[in-house]
């Protein structure tokens, strides 16, 4: 599926855990902008008609596994990447930990997307969309992102980081479940290979 370099790519990111406090895992959904409407519908079609915002941490694990398996099957004709990235604690302020974790997740996710979806060595025109919180709305976060854009070629394709309320985005709610899915591996309910095979989540 070779695409032109100027095709807009959206990278939705949410997290499980709290930067600077406990284990932190980022969940990401990467897709061409033109495909996100189809992904949204594929996911929404698996929910109850009156479903409100999906918060993985408030739901039963078995329900989440079934939901993600049905979503994967429903979206089988759409090209996208789901990625889960572990972010180790480090001796910097929490907003910087969050920024560095996001940067690492984006770089690994775009590399996968470039290889498995675009089939291209080049990528640009990327917008990152995150669930707004106290860390990604902090000046230290913004400074870390700006520094990375200016110095790192792998992150340079990112031209904007948008912060929105996840209640307004099913795509961010998918990212929330993907972030939470690392719990299944940590608790040894599943291994990384099963998570990818059954739910489409790449563990990195």
Whichever domain contains 62, its CATH number is 3.30.420.10
Interaxial angle between packed helices 61-74 and 170-180, expressed in degrees from 0 to 180 and rounded to the nearest 10: 120
Q: Is residue 2 part of a domain?
A: no
What Cα–Cα distance (Å) separates residue 119 from each residue in 1, 73, 93, 113, 123?
6, 23, 37, 8, 10
d(CA 138, CA 127): 19
43 domain residue, yes or no? yes
Domain membership flag for residue 109: yes
The pTM is what?
0.94
For residue 3, being part of any structural domain is answered with no
Q: What's the number of domains the chain is made of?
A: 1
Residues 42, 44, 50: CA angle, nearest 5 degrees: 160
Task: Identify the CA nearest to 124 among candidates 114, 115, 109.
Answer: 114
**pLDDT (tens place) for every residue of the chain, 204 residues total:** 444 456 899 999 999 999 988 889 999 999 999 999 999 999 999 999 889 999 999 999 999 999 999 999 999 989 999 999 999 888 899 999 999 999 999 999 999 999 999 988 788 899 999 999 999 999 999 999 999 988 888 898 999 999 999 999 999 999 999 999 999 999 999 999 999 999 999 999
């Amino acid at each position: 599926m070779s695409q032109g370099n100027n095709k807009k790519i959206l990278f939705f990111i949410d997290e499980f855990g709290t930067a600077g406090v406990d284990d932190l895992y980022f969940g990401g959904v990467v897709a061409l902008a033109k495909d996100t409407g189809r992904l949204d519908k594929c996911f929404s079609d698996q929910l109850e008609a009156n479903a409100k915002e999906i918060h993985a941490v408030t739901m039963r694990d078995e329900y989440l596994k079934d939901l993600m398996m049905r979503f994967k099957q429903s979206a089988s004709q759409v090209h996208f990447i789901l990625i889960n990235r572990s972010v180790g604690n480090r001796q910097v302020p929490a907003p910087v930990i969050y920024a560095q974790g996001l940067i690492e997740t984006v770089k690994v996710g775009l590399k996968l997307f470039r290889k498995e979806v675009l089939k291209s060595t080049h990528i640009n025109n990327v917008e990152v969309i995150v669930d707004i919180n106290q860390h990604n709305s902090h000046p230290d976060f913004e400074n870390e992102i700006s520094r990375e854009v200016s110095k790192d070629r792998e992150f340079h394709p990112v031209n904007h980081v948008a912060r929105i309320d996840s209640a307004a985005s099913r795509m961010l709610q998918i990212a929330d479940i993907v972030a939470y899915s690392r719990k299944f591996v940590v608790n040894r309910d599943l291994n990384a290979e099963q998570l990818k095979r059954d739910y489409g989540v790449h563990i990195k």
